[in-house]
Structure 1
Amino acid sequence: MKLESVKLACFSPTGTTKAVVQGIAYGINPGTVELIDITTPDARKQPLQTSENELLVIGVPVYMGRVPALLNEWLNVIQAHNTPTVCVVVYGNRVYDDALLELKNTVTECGCIPVACAAYIGEHSFSNSETPTAEGRPDEDDLHHAEAFGQKIREKLQSVSSISQISDVNVPGTYPYGGVTELWTVDFIAVSDECSQCGTCAEVCPVGAADAENSRLIDIEKCITCCACIKSCPQNARSMKPGMVKDASVRLHTLYNQRKEPEFFI
C-alpha cells in the first residue's frame, strides 16, 4: 500500500519521546511529515483526525508502567478510519509494564489499525547530574535503531495492497492493566536566587502548573513530576528538594543503571 503522508503525534515534556518518533519517521522516509506535539495543554484541546491514506506514529512516555492518565481524554477522542498506526512508548530504563498494550488497545478502539509497536528508552524524568538514569538517551544507537525500525515499517506496508491484509501485532502486557495511574502530589521543586523570572518553566510545563508571572509558585495538584521545568531552566535555578522524588531518583540510579535496549514488534 502507498502512504501519502505520516502524522507524528507525541507527548514529550523533556523531548525524549519526540526524538524517538522523529527518528522512526526518518527511517520511514515519507514524502510529507506532520508533527503534532500534544505536550502543552492548548495542543490537547484539538482532537486528532486521520484517514487510511496516512500513517500515524503516536508516542507517549511511560508513567509508572502506564500511559499517562492525563492523556486519556485526548487519546480516546482520536477520529481514525482504518488508519495504519505505529504505537511507541518511551520509558526511563526501569520497565514499561502494560503501557504499550494499553496504548495499542486505546488507539484500536478509536479506529486505528496497529501495524507496528515499540518501546524505547529515554533519560528518566528524575535523572540529574548527581543520580543519572539513562542519561543522554535516546542516544545515537537508539536513533539508529529507530531509523531501522522505520525502514521495517515502510517495507511491511509496501508488501501489502491494503490495510485489511495487516495481521494483528502482539505486544507484552496484561489486561486488566497493572501499575499506578495516580501520580504523587508533592512539593519537590526548589527555586534558587538564580531565577530570573524568564518564564521558560511556564512555557514548557505540560499541565500549566508553573506560574507564568512568578516561577516560585507551583500548583502541586496539577504537577505531574515530569521535571521539564528543572531540565529546561536556562539559569539552572530549579532543582529537587530533599524528599520522596529525590529519594526515588537515588533508587532509580542504584537499581536501574544497567543499560536496556529498545524493542519492537512488527
Structure 2
Amino acid sequence: MDIKSLKLVCFSPTGTTEQVVRAVARGIDINDVELIDVTKPEARSHSLKFTEGELIVVGVPVYMGRVPGLLQEWFGKIQAEGSPAVGVVVYGNRVYDDAMLELKDMLKRQGAVPIACAAYIGEHSFSNSEIPTAHGRPDNNDLSHAEMFGFKVREKLDSITDLAESCVNNIPGEYPYRGSTELWDVDFIAVDESCVQCGLCAEICPTGAIDAEDSSVIDTVKCITCCACLKKCPNQARAMKDGPVKDARVRLNRLFAEPKEPEFYL
C-alpha cells in the first residue's frame, strides 16, 4: 500500500506517550512525518481530517483502564475517510484493561481502518523518586521495542492489497468497557514558598485547571490528576498532599512493582 505521509497524534501531559509514538514512527520510516499534539485544550478545539494515503498513529495514556474521558468529544472531530491507523496506549504498569480495544473502536467509528495496536509502559503519573512506579519508563528497551513494532507495521502496510480486510481484530478487552472515565474531583496539590509564579504549570496543564496568575489556585473539577505540573515544576514547588491520590501512589508502588512488558497486535 502506498503511504505518502505519517501523522502522529498524541495526548501526552508528561511526555511518555509522545516518546513512544515517535519511536514507532522511526520504525515505520516514512520521510513525511507530522506530530499533532492535542495535549493542550486549544489543540483539541480543531477538527482533523485524514485521507487514505496517510497513515495515522494515535497515542493516548490510559486513565483507570480507559481512554481519557476528555478525549471522547474531541475524537468526534476526526474524519479519517479510510485512512490506515495504528492505536497506541501507554499505561503506568498497572493494567490497560479495555483502553486498547476502546481506542481501536474509536478510530474505526471515525472512518479509520485500524491495522495494528500496541500497549507500552510509561512512568505512572503518580510516581516520584521516593515512591516510584515504572520509574524511567519508557526506557531504551521499550523504545527499541516500539521501533520494532513500527517496522512490523511498515511490513504489513507494504503487503496490504485490500485495506478493508486488514483491520486488526484480536485486540484484548471486554464489552461493555471496564474502568471509568469519571475524573477525580480532589484537592491534592500543595504549593510551597519556593514557587516563583513562573506560569509553566498553567501553560502545560492539559485542561486549563491552573490559574495563570496564581498557580496555587487549581480547578479540581477540570484537573485530571495527570501530575504534569508536579513533574515539570522547575523549582519542585508542587507536591502531593496527604489524601486519596497520595494513598494511591503508595498502593501502586506496593502492588505493581513487577515490570510489565510491551504488547502489540497486527
Q: TM-score scaled by structure 2?
A: 0.98
1:123 aligns with 2:131: no
Q: How does 1:34-183 map to 2 (within 5 A)?
A: 34-183=34-183
Q: Does the CA-based 8 Å contact 1:76-1:107 persist in structure 2? A: no
Deviation readout 1:125-169 (Å, 9 max, x if unpaired): 000111100001100000000000000000000012342341433
**Other-structure match for 2:198:** 198
Q: How far 1:184 moved relative to its partner?
A: 1.0
Cα 1:167–1:36, aligned 2, differ >3 Å: closer, same or farther? closer
Across the aligned residues of Structure 1 and Structure 2, the Cα RMSD in angstroms comes to 0.8
CA distance in 1, matches of 2:189, 2:16: 21
CA distance in 2, matches of 1:59, 1:245: 25
Which consecutive residues of structure 2, in runs of 5 or more, have no partner in the other structure? none
Which consecutive residues of structure 1, in runs of 5 or more, have no partner in the other structure? none
Q: TM-score scaled by structure 1?
A: 0.98
**Other-structure match for 2:265:** 265
Size of the aligned set, in residue pairs, is 266
Q: Does the CA-based 8 Å contact 2:123-2:136 persist in structure 1? A: yes
Aligned identity (percent) is: 62
**Other-structure match for 2:15:** 15
1:241 aligns with 2:241: yes
CA distance in 2, matches of 1:184, 1:206: 15
Q: How far 1:242 moved relative to its partner?
A: 0.6
Deviation readout 1:173-208 (Å, 9 max, x if unpaired): 001111111121110001010001000000110000
CA distance in 1, matches of 2:237, 2:13: 18
Which 4+ runs in 1 deviate beyond 4 A?
Answer: none
Deviation readout 1:97-130 (Å, 9 max, x if unpaired): 0000011001101100001000000000000111
Q: Does the CA-based 8 Å contact 1:117-1:169 persist in structure 2? A: no
CA distance in 2, matches of 1:251, 1:81: 44
Q: Secondary structure at the match of 2:34?
A: strand
Q: Does the CA-based 8 Å contact 1:188-1:245 persist in structure 2? A: yes
Q: Secondary structure at the match of 2:79?
A: coil
CA distance in 2, matches of 1:164, 1:97: 27
Q: Does the CA-based 8 Å contact 2:50-2:83 persist in structure 1? A: yes
**Other-structure match for 2:184:** 184
